[in-house]
Amino acid sequence: MKYNYNRDSSRRAPYYPYSPGSSLPKRGAPAPSVGKWIGVMLLTAIPVVDIIAAFAWAFGPTVSKSLKNYGRAFLILLLAVIILAAAGVLIAIYVFDYDFLALIRQYFQA
Note the pTM of the prediction, 2 decimals: 0.63
Long-range contacts of 95-100 (CB under 8 A, 24+ apart): none
Q: What is the pLDDT of residue 105?
A: 86
Q: Per-residue pLDDT tens for 73-93? A: 999 999 999 999 999 988 888
Residue 38 CA to residue 33 CA, distance in Å, equals 9
